[in-house]
Amino acid sequence: MTEGPSANKKLKIQNEFDKSPNWANAFRLTSVQAIYPAFAVLQLGPDCNAHMSVPFTDAKCNFRKVGLEVGGLYMIDFDDIFSKGIDLLIDLQNNSRELTEEEQRAVDILDHFLKDKEKHQQSLHKVLGGCKSEEEKDEKTNSFETHMTIALAEHLFGKLAPGQSYVIDNRVRGKKEKEMCQCRLDHCHGRPKFDCTGIGDEKAWHGFLDIVFSSHPVAAITTQELYGDENDEESETVYDEDSPDGKTICEMQLNHGAENQAIAQTIVFSYIQRKRHPSFQNYLIPNILISPYHFRILMYDSLNDILICSVKLPIFQDKEKCEKLSVESIVFLWIVLHYRIFCVGINVTELLNSGSIKDLRDIQSNFPERAREKFKLYEESSTIGISSFLPIPEEIFPSLDSFLYGKRLFKPRRLWKNSI
């Protein structure tokens, strides 16, 4: 029996998978012993400033992890949210179904990346692992931020994302009009594109994403510091714009301020996607927070007001050497960047029916309450592609000029006495 073209293509690709050690590592995620990343549920505290006009860099979320007083944190596994991605890997390994065109494109992207993995890890090692002393850090912090953003976009995010194209925030370009990837290796031919990446509304949380991809809605943030300990991380941004206008957020982390920035961006971005794409099956929109060694996945469901954050995932197998990329982390990142076809969202009905929670408010972030009178603005007015934000005037102590057109609450006493 002669098989159709799509079946032949599927079988051909499967044979290539069988010969690839990188795909063998990827397929380990399909075993029953596989351990997936977990997400914690976050809530915003009363000191959150979502009701104020502040840039993302000054966002204050006052967040906390949510769980039972006895029994630890509420936890959601990666495969609970991205079950379609894990199921696809299982079917690929077993060669048990034909792929849709969208799935085939996604698989081809991962396949091409894994074939060129050695080249990409050489480039990332040269840029991310090349500045280790405190003296180098002090001298190169500003330029390193730009170099890292470009390298991650060119050799990681941009190669795994739908569409495989991106735009970098034009404010990180510095004095160089044509900033190139600093790996300068023969296989690197990328030409970064710079453009405006502002999102939000100047009357509320607002600011700029570092990178924009050109397919599903995704974004990312890079760090301003080279190194940090387990609790010391900072950030920058990347996002994707190939779906009708969609984007996803991705961030880098090296200090607590970056965590607040990432949360604010994730929430704003989700409301923008919900407004622009009312046909989405769910609005659990990701943002990736990334440092030179790790990344976290933040996601916010603007329909159900649920905010979650993953544990750290390593970019390299050994962060001290920064030489070999972690295939497992690459696969997780690929699934997240293709969330439009792999993410099933959070099944709130199942959670309530199973008794895992008694009330949806137990796991909601409380963002509408924290945004106060600005909440409708987030739902209706936040937008994307903004080149600049007008500053909102701050209140200052009174000056003589401020009284020129003022209104006195009491009649001047001297005039009153002279009229007697």
Amino acid in position 7: A
pLDDT at 250 over 50: no
Question: Residue 229: what pLDDT?
Answer: 40
The pTM assigned to this predicted structure is 0.84
- Per-residue pLDDT of 222-235, as tens digits, reads 554 333 344 444 44
247, 240 contact by CB (below 8 A): yes
Of 169-173, 180-184, 319-323, 350-354, where does the model show the most confidence?
A: 350-354
pLDDT (average), residues 215-219: 59
- Place 418 in a pLDDT band, splitting at 50, 70 and 90: low
Adjacent-strand bridge partners of 301:
284, 306
- Per-residue pLDDT of 308-347, as tens digits, reads 999 999 999 887 777 899 999 999 999 999 999 999 999 9
pLDDT at 412 over 80: no
- Place 13 in a pLDDT band, splitting at 50, 70 and 90: low
- Per-residue pLDDT of 104-145, as tens digits, reads 999 999 999 999 999 999 999 999 875 554 444 444 555 777
User: How far is the CA of 356 from the CAs of 156, 194, 243, 351, 360, in angstroms?
Assistant: 37, 46, 34, 6, 10
Rounded to whole angstroms, the maximal C-alpha distance in the chain is 114
- Per-residue pLDDT of 289-305, as tens digits, reads 888 888 999 999 999 99
DSSP reduced 3-state for 161: coil
Rounded Cα distance, 304 and 91, in Å: 31
- 44 sits in which H/E element: strand 38-44
Question: Residue 64: what pLDDT?
Answer: 94
Question: Residue 40: what pLDDT?
Answer: 96
User: Other CB atoms closer than 10 Å to residue 165's CB: what's the count?
Assistant: 16
Lowest mean pLDDT among 98-102, 241-245, 288-292: 241-245
218, 337 contact by CB (below 8 A): yes
Question: Residue 220: what pLDDT?
Answer: 65
213 CB-near residues (< 8 Å, 6+ apart): 157, 158, 161, 162, 163, 165, 166, 219, 238, 239, 240, 241, 242, 247, 248, 337
Question: Residue 191: what pLDDT?
Answer: 80
Question: Residue 238: what pLDDT?
Answer: 45
Sort 249 into a burial class: Cβ within 10 Å, 0-12 / 13-18 / 19+: buried
Rounded Cα distance, 81 and 69, in Å: 25
41, 363 contact by CB (below 8 A): yes
